[in-house]
Structures are given as structure tokens and as C-alpha cells.
Amino acid sequence: MKVAVVGATGLVGTKMLQVLAERNFPVTELLPVASENSVGKEVEFKNNKYKVVGMQEAIDAKPDVAIFSAGGGTSTEWAPKFAEAGITVVDNSSAWRMDPTKPLVVPEINADILTTNDKIIANPNCSTIQMVVALAPLHKAYKIKRIVVSTYQSVTGTGKKAVDQMMGERNKSVAGKETEYPMAYQYPIDLNVIPQIDVFTDNGYTKEEMKMVNETRKIMRDDNIRVTATTVRIPVMGGHSESVNVEFENDYDLAEVKNILEASPGVVVVDDLANAKYPMPKDAHEKDEVFVGRLRRDDTQPNTLNMWIVSDNLRKGAATNAVQIAEYLVANNLV
């Protein structure tokens, strides 16, 4: 396969190259693509150096698949041009997720909707991906009525600038001296919690919160699921965590819930209270699975479950999910 990675020099693009190599995706020719400022720079893939090329040069090279992680504006402008050239695009931005003509895919849940006609495929939001991977098998078993989710999201979800801000603040507080660092957020993030991810919309929720509402329904193919979300940025380097309260139409047995999750692809149950074992971001770092724990009944209302969900947001939340979509396309002769 001739593969283009658009945004190859960014945090997620770098992770995409790493995941493609780790999973032995059948790359016969790699085209790292980035903005004009990065053209000519080199990236490494499987111990080889590759020069970064521009958008039009990548299109002219006719890759089979282009995996995008270059922001919504870039995707809106360039993904259709790649698609018009017959190239299948897997896009990690928010540009196409809620377009009714574009599939929004988490392979463990709904890859079956993909066809050869799908030339732009949307990769969901990181916080949505990990939640639906854990909830989809429970939806099949008990039918979800309502989800209340609060997220605890890593600075890596914002990008390198946010990582630099947090580490700059941390070094300043430790060393006690002035240091120069960028401000990705309008407030300090180290030793702080910011209850805003993305901009606020007219209803008082942020765009990130509304992504979780709308994307969950689309992926699960059920517009009747009610979702309310609060998304929060915390001073953690890698890995998003979520506190999820889910109400089902039908009652459940807690032991059966654990059995269902343990048998679900991409899910690891870590729920051993006696030994204080539960999912934490540091344990999910550089792993592709979604980790679930703190499973317990909500005694305040019927048929309701509390759970804690953790995943590496740069891997399953972005790069790995996109590569898994590409793997499905190859395995099913859709490219």
C-alpha cells in the first residue's frame, strides 16, 4: 500500500507513523505530508528517513490511503481533493464527523458500514472513542437510555504547545526561576483544572461536550440515547479518563456486565477493589486498549451503572483508531 500521512510532523501524526510501524501495516511507500513550512524536513519510519512533501505533490503521487491529522481547516480544504483523485481519506479532525454522508467509525463497533464508495471516513473525537468502545457491548445487552459523562483529559489532547506550557509551569515552580514557555490555555494548567475544552456554544456547553453527545448517537446508530457531558482539562501528560454514569432500559447483573466487557474487543477490565486496582492514565500510556474499572451499581435510581474509563488519547483516541480503520479497508478489499 502507498500511504500518505497528512500532518506527519505533529503530535498525532508522529504517533500515526509509530502505530503504522508497530502494527506492520503493509506500507510499500510512505508519503509524509505537512504544511509548506515543513516541506523538505525528514521524518523517520521503520529506521528509514523520508522527506516531507506538500499536499499537491502527495495527491499527484496517488497513494491508496491518506490518513489526515492536520486540523479541520486543512481537512475541509484538502480531503475532497484527495478523494476526487480516488484516494481514500481517514480524517482525524472534526470536519466531517457529523456530515450525514460521511461514515464516523470505531472499528470494534461499526466498521461494517464502510463501502468502496466511502472516500472520506471520519475518525471520532478521542473522548468519544474510548467511551463508546466500553458502552457499545452494554448497549446491545441492556439498551442505553441516558449517559452522564465527566472527562479528565490530558494536555496532549491540545498538542505540543500545551505540553510545553505545563512543563514550563512545572519547571518554574520547581526551580523557582522565570522560564519562557507558550500559553496554550488562558489559565495555568499545572496544579490546576480547567473545566473548558474548546469554545462555548449557545447552549452553555463546549464544542467538545457536544461532540460527545452527537458522535455517540451516530456511532451507536441510536438517536434516542440521551447524553450530557462535562469535559475538563487536567495536568496529565497522556491519557484521558472518564467518569460515566449510564442508565439502561433493562436491569443488569454486575457480574454479567464484567463478563461482557472482558469478552469485548479492545476492552480490558481492571476492577479489583481488594488490591486497589483500577485504570489510571499512566497505566494506559502507549497501549491501544480501553481500560474499564470502578464498576458499581448506582443505588439512587434503577438500572444505572457507574464506571471509570481510561485510554491513551493519542493512540486509541486518535492514531490507532485511524490505522485500524485503514486495516479494515485493506482486509475487506475496500481500497
Q: What is the SS3 assignment for 246?
A: strand
pLDDT band at residue 173 using 50, 70 and 90 as cut-offs: confident
Residue 289 has pLDDT above 80, yes or no: yes
- Predicted confidence at residue 178, as pLDDT, reads 75
Bridge partners (DSSP) listed for residue 43: 50
Same structural domain for residues 106 and 165? no
- Residue 99's domain spans which residues? 2-124+318-331
Same structural domain for residues 270 and 302? yes
Q: State pTM to two decimals.
A: 0.95
Residue 177 has pLDDT above 80, yes or no: no
| CATH code of the domain covering residue 79 | 3.40.50.720
Same structural domain for residues 82 and 140? no
Q: Which of 45, 47, 15 is nearest to 31 (CA)?
A: 45
Same structural domain for residues 63 and 139? no
Give 51-88 pLDDT, tens digit per residue: 999 999 999 999 999 999 998 999 999 999 999 999 99
Give 10-60 pLDDT, tens digit per residue: 989 999 999 999 999 999 999 999 988 889 999 999 999 999 999 999 999
Give 199-215 pLDDT, tens digit per residue: 999 999 999 999 999 99
Same structural domain for residues 144 and 113? no
Same structural domain for residues 166 and 269? yes
- Predicted confidence at residue 180, as pLDDT, reads 86
How many structural domains are present in the chain? 2
CA–CA gap between residue 83 and residue 65 (Å, rounded): 10
pLDDT band at residue 174 using 50, 70 and 90 as cut-offs: confident
Same structural domain for residues 15 and 137? no
CA–CA gap between residue 197 and residue 230 (Å, rounded): 9
Give 135-154 pLDDT, tens digit per residue: 999 999 999 999 999 999 99
List strands edge to edge, sheet with 29-33.
29-33, 2-6, 65-68, 88-91, 120-122
Same structural domain for residues 109 and 55? yes
CA–CA gap between residue 27 and residue 34 (Å, rounded): 19
Residue 175 has pLDDT above 90, yes or no: no
CB 231 within 8 A of CB 210: no
Instruction: Indicate the average pLDDT of the chain.
Output: 96
CA–CA gap between residue 300 and residue 307 (Å, rounded): 15
Cβ-proximal residues to 107 (8 Å cutoff; 6+ apart), any chain: 321, 324, 325, 327, 328
Same structural domain for residues 99 and 120? yes
Same structural domain for residues 15 and 86? yes
Supply the Cα-derived Rg of the chain in whole angstroms: 20
Active site residues: 126, 240
Give 305-314 pLDDT, tens digit per residue: 999 999 999 9
Cα 320 off chain centre by? 8
| CATH code of the domain covering residue 254 | 3.30.360.10
Same structural domain for residues 300 and 327? no
Residue 245 has pLDDT above 90, yes or no: yes
Bridge partners (DSSP) listed for residue 3: 30, 65
Burial (CB count <10 Å: 0-12, 13-18, 19+), residue 56: exposed
What type of residue is 108? E
Same structural domain for residues 270 and 151? yes
